[in-house]
């Protein structure tokens, strides 16, 4: 798996909120995968995996992002929830996939 | 704006490439080479994750990428040299594993256009994006270039 040659401090500041931790990890992940096309390489990055590991509390923030614009959180949510509202015919259409997840979130009662 | 590209691709230098679009998460290099700006193309196992032509296997092999472009009318050719009336694509694989990493499409002026992951599109010389991230351009394919509107 190709990981871009960038190094970062992994030290987390104390008392991070969930959103602060999400954005810190997201920034590292995006900087180190932004020129990759392989979804397995993009989502296999340690920071993306750490976001997935944040679990239920971060899901509303991911859904909020998806409502704003298409995002690769559509590749995290199936792992986090065990569900997938995306139809096979929509695979790769990040915009439609994002819309499907926002709809799913509302139906599940998430608020963001 | 382009500093990260200069850092990631050492052969790119200000003046020998230009950014032609802003970053976009909706399509990747394979889609861009295929002329699609709305879908993420990659042969992942789960069709709910990415698009891949049905005529090609969902395998991370150069043969699968060759078959995907063959389904669009491309056939394998010998070189990256500009041939009038033909549109070419270049497929890249990493070293030493031969795993596909990237695709670029040749422009009528002989230069190449690439979508860099979910970052920008750029116009560049083909070999300037080779290196540790994309490896090397190893396979070239071509198809007749569509005629400009009004010509037949």
- Which of A35, A42, A84 to mutate against chain B (most B CBs within 10 Å)? A35
> By the 8 A CB rule, do A8 and A44 touch?
no
- Three-state secondary structure readout of B65-109: HHHHHHCCCCEEECCCCCCCCEEEEEEEECCCCCCEEEEEEECCC
- Between chains, do B29 and A37 touch, taking CB under 8 Å as contact? yes
CB contact under 8 A, B101 and A37: yes
Range of A39's domain? 18-107
Please tell me the distance from the alpha carbon of residue B30 to that of residue B41, in angstroms, as a whole number.
6
Can you tell me the mean pLDDT for B77-87?
A: 96
pLDDT in tens, B27-62: 999 999 999 999 999 999 999 999 999 999 999 999
Tell if the CB–CB gap between B42 and A75 is shorter than 8 Å.
Answer: no
Residue A33 — φ and ψ, nearest 5°?
Answer: -125, 5
Domain boundaries, chain B: 3-9+19-144
B146 pLDDT band (50/70/90 cuts)? confident
Distance between CA B122 and CA B20 in Å, rounded? 5
Say yes or no: ipTM exceeds 0.85.
yes
Number of domains in chain A: 1
For residue A33, being part of any structural domain is answered with yes
pLDDT of B9-26, one tens digit each?
Answer: 999 998 899 999 999 999
Q: What is the Cα–Cα distance from B18 to B25, expressed in whole angstroms? A: 19
Within a domain: residue A9?
no
The answer, yes or no, to whether residue A85 has pLDDT greater than 90, is: yes
Least Cα distance to B24 among B12, B37, B41 occurs for B37
Of how many residues is chain B composed?
A: 152
Instruction: pLDDT band for A13, please (50, 70, 90 cuts).
Output: low
- List pLDDT tens digits, range B97-109: 999 999 999 999 9
Residue A34 falls within a domain, yes or no? Answer: yes
Any domain includes A102? yes
The percentage of residues in chain A with a pLDDT greater than 70, rounded to a whole number, is: 88
């Amino acid at each position: 798996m190709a990981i871009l040659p960038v190094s970062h401090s992994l030290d987390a500041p104390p008392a991070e909120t969930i959103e602060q931790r999400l954005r810190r990890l997201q920034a590292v992940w995006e900087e180190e995968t932004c020129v990759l096309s392989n979804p397995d390489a993009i989502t296999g990055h340690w920071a993306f995996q750490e976001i997935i590991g944040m679990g239920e509390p971060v899901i509303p923030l991911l859904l909020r992002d998806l409502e704003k614009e298409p995002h690769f959180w559509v590749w995290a949510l199936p792992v986090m929830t065990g569900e997938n509202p995306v139809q096979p015919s929509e695979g790769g259409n990040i915009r439609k996939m994002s819309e499907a997840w926002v709809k799913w979130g509302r139906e599940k009662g998430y608020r963001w | 704006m382009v500093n990260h590209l200069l850092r990631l691709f050492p052969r790119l230098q200000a003046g020998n490439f230009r950014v032609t679009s802003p970053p976009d998460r909706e399509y990747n290099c394979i889609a861009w080479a295929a002329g699609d700006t709305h879908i993420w193309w990659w042969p992942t196992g789960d069709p709910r994750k990415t698009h891949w032509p049905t005529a090609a296997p969902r395998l991370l092999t150069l043969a699968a990428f060759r078959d995907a472009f063959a389904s669009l009318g491309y056939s394998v050719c010998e070189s990256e040299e500009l041939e009038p009336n033909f549109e070419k694509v270049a497929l890249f694989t990493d070293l030493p594993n031969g795993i596909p990493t990237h695709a670029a499409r040749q422009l009528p002026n002989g230069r190449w256009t690439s979508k860099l992951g979910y970052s920008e599109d750029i116009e560049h010389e083909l070999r300037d994006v080779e290196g540790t991230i994309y490896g090397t351009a190893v396979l070239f394919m071509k198809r007749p270039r569509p005629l400009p509107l009004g010509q037949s």
